[in-house]
Amino acid sequence: MAALYFVLYFILAGALVFLSNKLGQYIDLLDKKTKVSGAFLGGVLLAAVTSLPELFTSFSSIILFNEKELVIGNVLGSNLFNVLVLGGCLIIFFNTFRKSKIDYKSHFSTFLGLGIIYGLMCYGTFVPREFQPQPESWPINFICVFILITYGLIVFFQPKQEEKEEEEKEDVSPLSVKQIIIRFTICAILLVGISILITYVTTLLQDELHLDATFAGALFLAIATSLPELVSCATLCKKGNFNAAFGDILGSCLFNFCIIGLGELISFDGSLLSQVIYNGTALKDQAVYDAVKMTILAIITLLFIFILLIVKKNISDKKPNEKLTWFNVLTIVIGLIATSGYLIYLAI
């Protein structure tokens, strides 16, 4: 039966790839046809839509299958895989990245949100349960509420418009903005249905292969639900729209944490975060160990990408006509570091 489940898994994953490619194309068209910031389109609209698989697979894990550990593994694993995707795009399209226009203010605000939320996750993971902001009779850990508030503030204060160059205003497609939005919405709805199905197949694989729930979430669910980010990001980078691509990946990582917050609100029989809280003595539980690994690796890899953007803003962008071979090498090296995080997690 395992072979049949794998076939179903890859068929559903292929459907996610097709829909994600369409979503990336529609966001690129909206970026060119409207005055809405590409960073905002990628970081909020596309990020939210490409994170719908994580959202609905997580909700399905809680409500339908009662596998709460899948949620933590799904979110943390998806974020780590998202960074791998961005690192791969930096390696492949390094020259395009150097020439691309980046909305730094928007992306730096997203990094700020990620820094705050990962800090909250570290507190929730490493601090013993008796010091957690969770009343004894309540199923909700208020760290998850703080995560939702942080996301809301970052999105609210994020710049939503930018000045477009004159050539970017040209009609690049026969589709109107309304038609693009309708097609974008249809793809998003189909994405939701496939996400629920792939959650069910993952639970079947988990049972068939006798896998730990957190590991299964970080492996099968994280990869499958991150395929939209992979394909849409690669599509945008190939078109030279690194601004929207960065917004997509970083915004998806930020939105993914909202899934933990929202999942906490519908998990009435116990906190999601309590599944991975450090017990104060030793990391004996595999779920705790996996969560700690993914959190630390994501923080390190995101820090290197943040440094790359700072170098580009302060050095590379001020010399647009110079070849700057050293910057291309730096981009590839940091891309390799970013891709290594998820691979290191699987290896150790």
Q: What is the CATH number of the domain that holds 58?
A: 1.20.1420.30
The pTM for the full model equals 0.79
Q: How far apart are CA 345 and CA 25, in angstroms?
A: 32
The reply to whether 163 falls in a domain is no
Instruction: Pinpoint the alpha helices (H) of the chain.
Output: 2-33, 38-40, 47-50, 52-63, 68-92, 94-99, 104-126, 142-157, 177-209, 213-216, 222-238, 242-266, 286-314, 325-347
Contact status, residue 49 vs residue 191, Cβ threshold 8 Å: yes
Q: State how many domains the chain has.
A: 1
Identity at 254, one-letter amino acid code: L
Burial of residue 313, with CB atoms counted within 10 A of its CB: 0-12 exposed, 13-18 middle, 19 or more buried = middle
Nearest alpha-carbon partner for 309 in 116, 114, 29: 114
Confidence of residue 275 (pLDDT cuts 50, 70, 90): low
Burial of residue 332, with CB atoms counted within 10 A of its CB: 0-12 exposed, 13-18 middle, 19 or more buried = middle
Residue of higher predicted confidence among 216 and 45 = 45
The reply to whether 110 falls in a domain is yes
- Mean pLDDT for 23-33 is 83
Contact status, residue 51 vs residue 269, Cβ threshold 8 Å: no
Q: Which has the minimum average pLDDT: 32-36, 60-64, 168-172, 234-238?
A: 168-172
Residues 6+ positions from 286 with CB-CB distance below 8 Å: 212, 214, 215
Residue 23 is predicted with a pLDDT of: 84
The reply to whether 168 falls in a domain is no
Domain that holds residue 182: 2-158+175-347
The reply to whether 180 falls in a domain is yes
The reply to whether 167 falls in a domain is no
The reply to whether 169 falls in a domain is no
